[in-house]
Structure 1
Amino acid sequence: MAAVPVQEFKLEPDNELRFETELKGDSVRLELRSGTAELFGCELVKGREYVFEKGAKAAVFTWDGATVELKGKPEAAYIAKETPMVIYLNTHAVLEQLRRKAEAEEGRGPIVMVVGPADVGKSTLCRMMLNWGVRMGRKPLFVDLDVGQGNISIPGTIGAVMVERPAMPGDGYNLNAPLVYHYGHISPEKNLELLKIVTSKLASFVLQKFETNKRVAHSGMIINTCGWVKGDGYKLLTHAASAFEVDLIVVLDQERLYNELIRDMPNFVKVVFQPKSGGAVERNRQFRISTRESKVRQYFYGPKNTLFPQNVQVNFDDIKVFKIGAPKVSAALLPEGMMPDENSMTRIVPVSPGPDLLHHIMAMSYAESTEEDLLTTNVLGFVCVLNVDTEKQKLTLLSPHPAPLPRNIFLISDVQYMEI
């Protein structure tokens, strides 16, 4: 057996070790040997090995100097001496001042939205600010509006979760009772009307959370957004800023977006421009596809394959499947005098179980009957259609929950997953 390559890096104060693992390669192990260092705001424990699976991108930063060791063969690994970490930490310091003021005045902590084009490090900055806040004893809310990525749940959803402990490398956020809404597409432009509706519903719910939990209210909220910042994408950003009653918008890397928001936001919303980290690199299409597949797999099997989902069989007649949105019909194709349905993209359309469902993810709605508003009801969880038996009229579902399933109303998603 070939020896595992080992590299040692000595980091000076305010230096950062950036490394990437190969998309189709082996995992890489990181160990802090001496000094102090953190990864995306999470303090590393000396002597502990942290595992980074294929396709991972990481940056280990030290304020005071450290020695770290990489075991394995990363695709790239280098030390960066110029980083925006001081700027980011200053932002955290301002947020902490606002939290202390909120405590003193029994008010609401800062509500921050991070925006910018794709691949500028929005999710990473959100993670750092959340981790730093938790290390100060806070319990901030994290809201993820990036439907293509799925930081809280799977791609094709938006959601919110209270962050009570730092997001450890490789483990992600402690997803204890997240609030998740179905959208069903990985692109926000697929159904703008639906995305605005569920964004407003999510905002209404989390703002109510502030009224019932003072500690969460004092801690505030960090909101991650997608990288579509032009045209309708910009309208989605301004809609979210209004719905969540945002106090501060952090714009990464794009001065045009910064100036547009300065122009359009109310005076009480502060807009700041910050540089992206040099470690934020462009992700190609294959990497995005692989990441989405990994997110879905982690939902069913856990980050380290520690979960054991069930194969559950259900009869066609025992479940109700719907999709949201129907194709818009041109006025030229309609009978004379009829107008196109302006609400077609938010219409609830029944779907008969059949071969077309194969490999699709379906969201299990919290709704107990179809009399409830399926658009704005959050979801209980997800299943994947493994097999469709039209002869026996049965579906085989991959499910985190054993039979019988707690609900029978499902919303079909464009997101698909195939067992390997």
Structure 2
Amino acid sequence: MEVDWGKQVHLQLVSGQAEVFGTALDLGERVTIGGQKVAVYSWQGCTLAMEGQPDIMYTSEETPMPHYLNIHDVLDARRQEALKAKGEGPRTFVVGPTDVGKSSLCKILLNYAVRAGWAPTFADMDIGQGSITVPGCIAATPVEAPVDIEDGLPTDAPLVYYTGTPSPSDNPDLYRHLVERLAHVLELRAQSDAQVRASGLFVNSMGWIVELGYELLKHTVQALKCGVVLVVGDERLYSQLSTDLKKTDPVIQVLKLPRSGGVVVRSRELRQQARKVRVEEYFYGNRKELSPASQTARFEDLQVYRVGGGPRAPSSALPIGAASVADPLKLSRITNPQELLYTLLAVSHAPQPELLLSVNVAGFIYVQDVDAAKGTITYLAPCAGPLPGSLLLAGSFKTYLD
């Protein structure tokens, strides 16, 4: 069923068994669906009660769920072996073009792993949408309980790095750098806990699968040491990865899976709208249950930086033998606060500017207003009080919150 933003439908399991992306519904439990596209699946059949009218609703006889369950069984057996041997559980990379159900498959496999007693880690490389936190982020979070149908993935202790762009194409070098930073920290965490190590990792990839996007996908597989690659709904990509990854690491297993029939193709406008909704949810919550604080600070008291030394000149425009000198990882301090209006700023844990690209971020603020005469900015923060740090990273995309 599809329920647009601003509308709500209430579901209740009356009899039988049912699940939403692998999260089991309890008998009598009332679940609210709003601004979501969900599939309710039953292995044996069930009766559901519903209040409200979805925008689209239908029943499908064809489903890839048996394939997904088989994958879970194989991964679960590997986790059991890893725990006995005190080794590494499966690291699974889910890849495919846009709108084939990659995020849904990740949720299903995460939930099945949790229901089997594991605590896998989920890493989201799709910076355009942001399922863990705001768009523009490479992020990871431990998953120790089934993903909440209403609230989504857990965000109590996420590990977040801010690219500040909705697409890796804006700064591919920064994307690579932050993937490697995330991989390093996840490696340290896995080595410190045998259960975490055996539980493994699920990685959701972006939908950019050609040319540079394809190279970035291969880099992510290698950086995160993924041993299983699940290719959803793309024969050509499956063939390419099977050939290329076997050359670099013959142990990597590349498997092909059908796309889910319930997947909805989203337009560019719908994706932009989804980004705005994700930012709003960060500050206000899924059900507008949070109360963010609007605060004013002197701009000179904050150190705001932007990543990237400006656009690189194309090689054809340079003198023969010359190379572009723009540094894609260069940090430039922003001196004009007007640039920051309607942008997201990441508040860094970094103690000094040189470490801004090595240390994860604490959270985000949204610049609502700039008073150039007074030298102040007014920003929206998740809670009142001083910021966790004075070093901030500016994003390159604008978000216009109501």
TM-score range relative to shorter protein: over 0.9
1:49 aligns with 2:30: yes
Amino acid at match of 2:348: S
Match of 1:369 among 345, 348, 352: 352
| Residue identity matched to 2:92 | V
The alpha carbon displacement at 1:307 in A equals: 1.5
Structure 1 residue 196: deviation in Å?
0.5
* 1:41–1:337 CA distance, 2 compared to 1 (3 A): closer
Distance in structure 1 (CA, Å) of the matches to 2:340 and 2:382: 19
Aligned match of 1:35: 16
Aligned twin of 2:329: 346
Shift of residue 204, structure 1, vs aligned partner: 1.2
Structure 1 CA distance, aligned partners of 2:25 and 2:210? 38
Give structure 1 regions of 4+ aligned residues with deviation exceeding 6 angstroms: 331-338
1:236: which partner in 2?
A: 216
Which one of the candidate residues 103, 106, 124 is aligned to 2:83? 103
Provide the rounded CA distance (Å) in 1 between the counterparts of 2:272 and 2:317: 37
Q: What letter is aligned with 1:362?
A: L
8 Å contact 2:284–2:292 — kept in the other structure? yes
The separation in 1 between residues aligned to 2:319 and 2:68, in whole angstroms, is: 59
Instruction: Give the alignment partner of residue 392 of structure 1, picking from 374, 390, 393.
Output: 374
Alignment-derived partner of residue 175 in structure 1: 155
| 8 Å contact from structure 1 (residues 327, 344) kept in 2 | no
Alpha-carbon spacing, 1:83–1:339, altered in 2? closer, same or farther (3 Å):
closer
Aligned to 1:161: 141
User: Counterparts of 1:254 and 1:403 in 2: how far apart (Å)?
Assistant: 49
Is the CA contact 1:155–1:415 (under 8 Å) kept in the aligned structure 2? no
Q: How does 1:124-163 map to 2 (within 5 A)?
A: 124-163=104-143
In 2, Cα distance between the equivalents of 1:263 and 1:335? 38
State the AA in 2 paired with 1:351: I
Scaled by the length of structure 1, the TM-score of the pair is 0.91
Task: List alignment gaps of at least 5 residues for structure 1.
Answer: 1-18
2:268 to 275, 285, 288: 285
| Shift, 1:417, TM fit | 2.9
Residue-by-residue CA offset, 1:99-134 (whole Å, 9 max, x unaligned): 000011110100000000000000000000001111
Q: How does 1:170-319 map to 2 (within 5 A)?
A: 170-265=150-245, 266-319=249-302
How far residue 340 of structure 1 moved from its aligned partner, in angstroms, is 2.3
Instruction: Read off the aligned partner of 2:105 and give its amino acid letter.
Output: L
Give yes or no for contact 1:114–1:224 (8 Å, CA) kept in 2: yes
Matched-pair identity in %: 37
Query: Equivalents in 1 of 2:208, 2:317: separation in Å?
Result: 32
Is residue 10 of structure 2 the alignment partner of residue 26 of structure 1?
Answer: no
Whether the 8 Å contact between 2:143 and 2:154 is mirrored in structure 1 is: yes
Deviation at 1:353, TM superposition (A): 3.7
RMSD after superposition: 1.7
- Give the structure-2-normalised TM-score: 0.95
Mean CA deviation greater in 400-409 or 168-177: 400-409
Structure 1 residue 50 displacement after superposition: 1.1
Alignment length (residue pairs): 398
- Report the counterpart of residue 79 of structure 1 in structure 2: 59
- The alpha-carbon deviation at position 284 of structure 1 amounts to 1.5
